[in-house]
Structure 1
């Protein structure tokens, strides 16, 4: 009988289908940053609307340039000490071939690069919601530059880069529970502990000025999150991306309903802000876990996150830290919950064969998740606080108190979100309309 012939595994070939799929997913993730801007912009008072929008939009500019120059190389280049990557050929993206594939996949390096760029953009933008009303725009732009360089790029390597310590340990983070949400939430907490509270915190009404804008932003985030999550499998060949897509929808729905039920029991009403916040909490929690759990597990993850995040947003009043738009309560807490629940609900039938406690796998994966979660949380919290402290002591992080009271939009951008002069009737009527809006706002009571 002739000897058996062993064929070498064929090298991956460029897949037009996967390449197109990933480009679409990249565009969806890009849309999330304007969606976040609308979400945050509607949640602040009228006088801060434009500043809130700009704090997200500026990340699109700054982080894009940093990523091209050196960020991609730091995050995904050749590992050094399990802490950072580097590849000189990727500096400025100057030595990457058009059809050169990302190692082990069927998409070009350029496609992987631009997909991950969108993650790098939205992560510092998430932080901005905690700092509403009071931060100099120039200081914020410099903070983004420094934070992306010394926090986001290294943490992305830990979690997703070949050789990164969390990646090698086996910490599961499908699409950014640690690298994006815990990272941003911990950074937000670190910065607000340094710069302090808004003028009038706990005293003046600081209700959202446009709940329709909040709902629009939440809807855009939900839509874009399908690219954020399903695209993170980098292809569409084996069904894992489809599982993640389904779980994204399921967990988000469960979290929204759980938040609303909690809110009705606790506060006596189903609010639109609660629906939007609950949806985002579910999106955050399923981001790390959606490739590892079943759809029933996704319901559990979403419902647990919805309730715990709803409870967490009130902690700022109890402990006295001014997290303006609940970045800590939603993104930090939601990221921690979603990451740790992998240790309980991982089914072994998704992205890997890892099983959680409820599927007979014991607590091994849970302890791995704890290592990733609390290392990223501590690193981001401490370094972010140090960066904020340095900036505050040099150029100053906060606008003057008079500018904060009068309105940061006019002080920092020489513009206002709404021009009441178009209402007609001259200066007197314009003043009357503005006074009516101000009076209506003053009558609102904090939840």
Structure 2
């Protein structure tokens, strides 16, 4: 500023009126800047930006009133800072007298300078938009002027400031305002956590951005023109130079943008305009109109290149504050000595080269002061108050999280892709919030969105058993037979979770019915006496008398397990007590053998039909069944094997006894953060499903738990294992508290997902970290494949050949019974255990002897000899 303190002046009404008008317009620049920035960010953060601008305006004004003016323009203490007490609360500032050397009232000079002081820290809001907490913002806008703007302004604009005495040129704030704020913005951008890298951020309302920028543009005439402090030729120079520089810079940005994508981007036009305004600010009242043209062109190109470079370096300067403020401010200040008009030349000390050196020194000082002090401020605030917004706040929006109000009555969902919409719908469904589901449907008119696992809202509704929600979804067009990534239809989720009313409704609506698919679950339910699951399966269409490969029915299994409740349930459901298994025994035979009195009596009373032949596919017995006692087990569960015989395949086989397995299940069922509906969970899972390693790392660094689960209980590790995203798997496994064996709602671990998906490398890594597999149906499927002699089916399960079924029988037992020599040979080659005893105490060799399969007897004997040798 070109005010001097030597000598008085006479009040001039014209100058006073001009400066009142200029002060008013400069004040409008601050909210206009907020409007422009609000339009350039997400709708969910609009009000937060405007709120920061308004609160910052109020606080900045009061700070200037209390001590700011004194620190900048008060009596200088060694050229470093002003005396804050000399003008504390504007004492010793006359209203009816001129500011020394000027023709306007001193208080008007204070007011004009106040508009600058309150604006500068708020320029940084464009760098931290959507990322800084409001509790950190409040002290920042108080500390930053005290440590950065006020000292620099004193050095440059106070006649006693040490840079001013050197002869620094800064007509309206190229160094004092734009350089300090732009450099501070870069420091904040580097310090704060980055936003989601994979998202291309665009403004939600470029109309707002245009309106705010135009008002800022108009206010800049007074910003620069008013810095002359008089209505004279210098203010006229400042006005026209401001306009020309902005226009030329805007054209530069537009040309570069068009050369890239052949589009005439309005956001590029506006960015170039702001860069040109900042670039001409230090010399707007000192250079010619021709020089303004050149300055605009230079700063336009340089600022555009800077913005591109920062994006390539992934520096998250949200609204390019460094490129639009610091770069043009520095360049405009450095080249200013080349263009100072002759009419001002005589009043300036030294040659142009000397003045360039002064400008360079001043720029370095301003950059260093802003960078160091800004870092200290943001570091201190982060350590004490926390500067970074939480993950949930980032994705929910600062408007809701911190302001408690919103700028628009819009749903966040309109900013999400289909995958995000699916996750949002599924979360609403999992919460059973029918009202929110209806609102979602009214807004999007589509209920078929599928998430990263191919799951729809109907899948989740069926899984949770929310009949009213299921009815709403089906009647409003939700696809009834759509399948997820694992081939499950919605009704199958209802079966798994035993929601009978939902099953009945879905069947009445015409859903596809595949009862044979659930036969393994039927037998497992019988072995565990899960009558609720059995009831659900019966409602779905599974026959109560369906037989397995040994011609055994659920009634056989319930009797062998001595379970009264299950026996009673099956008889009431119409189970046939006369059916005979492979060994020609009925359920009653087993009841009498076990002296299971309840079953004997119930079976006598419950007989309903004459004898039915056993499964014709089962071979006739050629030797009598031995008298070995039945194994006393209330449940048949997963795996029994000899690990010493299958070490080469241990990567994919988890051998656990029933008791240990149950302990594992109980331990890992509660190991994950269950059914979190937070947006942070959704974003982490979506990032994993997109194999976005950088975003996953960013979210984890921001505090996202690696164990969060979605509405299906699935963790990030489940998703990564299913899709063989090895880098994500390694990243997740590095987390200190990662739960490797978390069970989802379908009792599947990440290791299980990797195995059934055929991802051996992922399975090996998970196995090395303690991954286990709990599969209640695998044993049945193995035995069925061996019974059928289907090598192709076994090939898909070859790494788990020792898994047992509900009768503790393995695939080798069935191959021995059926005489499938090739299958038995293949199983032995892949680590099948020859010593495994089934429910009846029989080993595969016993079955081979009993059913007369001499070749298999020989194979097993030879295999044992090789192992023993």
TM-score (norm 2): 0.47
The 3 A distance-change label for structure 1 pair 420 and 195 is closer
Equivalence for 2:248 = 254
User: Residues of 2 paired with 1:258 and 1:82: CA distance?
Assistant: 40
CA distance in 2, matches of 1:432, 1:77: 63
2:163 counterpart of 1:166: yes
Matches within 5 A, 1:180-199: 180-198=177-195
> Which residue of structure 2 aligns with residue 337 of structure 1?
331
Could you tell me how far apart the structure 2 residues matched to 1:290 and 1:119 are? 16
**Residue 204 of structure 2 aligns with which residue?**
209
1:431 aligns with 2:440: yes
* Cα pair distance change 1:354/1:255, threshold 3 Å: farther
The alpha-carbon distance between structure 1 residues 131 and 174, as it changes in their structure 2 partners (threshold 3 A), is: same
Query: Quick check: 1:108 aligned with 2:105?
Result: yes
Counterpart selection for 2:227 from 203, 228, 232: 232
Give the structure with the higher percent helix: 1
Q: Is the 8 A contact 1:289 1:341 kept in 2?
A: no
RMSD: 2.2
CA distance in 2, matches of 1:88, 1:34: 30
Partner of 2:356: 366
Confirm or deny that 1:398 pairs with 2:388.
Answer: yes
In structure 1, distance between residues paired with 2:42 and 2:91: 44
Aligned to 2:145: 148
Q: Specify the alignment match of 1:325 in structure 2.
A: 319
1:93 paired residue among 90, 93, 110: 90
Matched, 1:119 2:116: yes
- For 1:377, the equivalent position in structure 2 comes to 367
Q: Which residue of 2 aligns with 1:243?
A: 237
Which residue of 267, 270, 277 corresponds with 1:273? 267
Q: Cα distance, 1:349 vs. partner?
A: 2.9
Deviation at 1:344, TM superposition (A): 2.1
Larger Rg: 2
SS where residue 87 of structure 2 aligns?
helix
Rounded Cα–Cα distance in structure 2 between residues aligned with 1:223 and 1:14: 27
Deviation of 1:434 after TM superposition, in Å, equals 5.8
Alignment counterpart, residue 307 of structure 1, candidates 301, 304, 307: 301
Supply the distance in 1 between the matched residues of 2:400 and 2:202 (Cα, whole angstroms).
20
State whether residues 346 and 354 of structure 1, in contact with CA within 8 Å, keep that contact through their aligned partners in structure 2.
no
| Counterpart-to-counterpart distance in 1, 2:103 and 2:266 | 42
Quick check: 1:72–1:90 contact (8 Å CA) kept in 2?
Answer: yes
Does residue 295 (structure 1) correspond to residue 322 (structure 2)? The answer is no
Q: Secondary structure at the match of 2:109?
A: helix
1:145 and 1:116 mapped to 2: Cα distance?
Answer: 17
Give, in whole Å, the separation in 1 of the partners of 2:159 and 2:303.
32
Deviation at 1:10, TM superposition (A): 9.0
Kindly indicate whether the alpha-carbon contact (under 8 Å) linking 2:37 and 2:209 is maintained by their aligned counterparts in 1. Answer: yes
Deviation, structure 1 residue 429: 7.5
CA shift for structure 1 position 350: 4.7
Alpha-carbon deviations, 1:279-328, whole Å to 9, x = none? 10010001001122110000000111111111111122232321011001
Which position in structure 1 is the counterpart of 2:77?
80
Measured after TM superposition, the shift of residue 90 of structure 1 is 1.3
Counterpart of 2:23? 26
**Kept in 1: contact 2:193–2:388 (CA 8 A):** no
RCO higher in structure (CA 8 A, sep ≥6): 1
User: What displacement does 1:351 show?
Assistant: 7.9
Q: Is residue 99–residue 109 contact of structure 2 (8 Å, CA) maintained in 1?
A: yes
1:119-160: CA deviation from partner (whole Å, max 9, x where unpaired)? 011101100100011111121011111111111111110110
Contact 1:420 1:430 in 2 (8 A): no
* Offset at residue 383 of structure 1 (A): 0.6
Give 1:354 shift: 4.8
Deviates more, 1:314-323 or 1:228-237: 314-323
Shift of 1:352: 6.1
- Deviation string 1:85-106 (CA, Å, 9 cap, x unpaired) is 1153410013332212111111
Determine the C-alpha separation between the residues in 1 that align with 2:442 and 2:260: 35
SS at structure 2 position matched to 1:418: coil
- In the aligned structure 2, how far is the partner of 1:139 from the partner of 1:39? 23
1:418 paired residue number: 408
1:58-87, Cα deviation, whole Å (9 max, x unpaired): 211111111011000000011112110115
Which ranges of structure 2 fall in alignment gaps of 5 or more residues? 1-5, 412-434, 450-869
Aligned length: 419
Q: Which moved more, 1:320-329 or 1:345-354?
A: 345-354
